[in-house]
Amino acid sequence: MKAFWWFLGIFIAFFVVFALVTYTVDETQLAIRLRFGKIMDVHDKAGIHFKAPFIDKIEKRDKRIMLYDSAPESVLTVDKKRLEVDSFILWRISDSKTFLETLNNTNSALNRIDDIVYSNIRDSFAKLTISDIISEDRRAYLESITNQTSDILKTFGVQVTDVNVKRTDLPDTNAKAVFERMKSERYQAAAKIRAEGEKEYKEIVARAEKESSVLIAEANKQAEEIRGKGDASALEVYASAFSKDPEFYHFWRSLTAYESVFQKEAVVLLDEKVDFLQYLFSHKAE
């Protein structure tokens, strides 16, 4: 029984000593071992590490990518419009030793990140118009801001992986004026498009009328040529018939003339001695 208690005491003492001289690092953490305020070493891999009991101090930091949702800030664009920009930043500790020496803790890091990001957004948006900021090219501007911010914060052991804008709003005092100006611009653009459409419509109509006139003139010309050829052919036929039977030709021509002159309900006063009526009276017919 006495041996059991000795064994239990040694077992407990072992674990107490083991806990005093070791510390564990989680997969999501990095650990800094300090001795009298001086950094002895940094461990960013998960596992068990040794320390001097009662002398070394262990500080741990989260090494995962963290989200910082900054407060909306006011910026001025190149076209003198004030915007309320609500942004967020993704960041992580890239150099734990430098981070501890310069910023020490997360609150200090967030304050520095906020200042630098706001400064870069303000300087970048000051060169852009509202249309640029809300366009598809905004992603390229934000990538430039991300790179600038990351380059500056490297000296603090911080890596910025992304700077993005959640919302870009106009202040209430400016929103109505900007809306009216944008509406006016759209009306002007619509009027210009309508004017161009009207001009093109008139050009098409004029071109069509010109082509139609040319086609009609060519058709009339062809019709006159055909009509002339038909009249010439008719004259040839008439001349041939006249040469073969002059008396019949005169008779047929007189009947044609009668048809034209004596229309329905027409009254014509002529002397029967007129040669034109020779085929209407029997003594002329004989």
The Cα–Cα gap between 59 and 104 comes to 10
Task: Name, of 11-20, 26-35, 125-134, 238-247, the range with top average pLDDT.
Answer: 125-134
Is 80 exceeded by the pLDDT of residue 111?
yes
Tokens encoding 171: 């202040």
Q: What is the pLDDT of residue 119?
A: 87
Instruction: Please choose, from the candidates 260, 98, 75, the residue with its C-alpha nearest in 3D space to the C-alpha of residue 170.
Output: 75
Mean pLDDT of 5-18: 68
Q: What is the pLDDT of residue 3?
A: 73
Whose structure tokens read 């300087």? Answer: 123
Q: Is the pTM of this model over 0.95?
A: no
Question: Between these two residues, 11 and 93, which has the higher pLDDT value?
Answer: 93
pLDDT in tens, 260-271: 666 666 666 666
Q: Which residues contact 146 (CB under 8 A, 6 or more apart)?
A: 160, 161, 162, 163
Confidence band (pLDDT; 50, 70, 90) for 281?
low
The Cα–Cα gap between 172 and 175 comes to 5
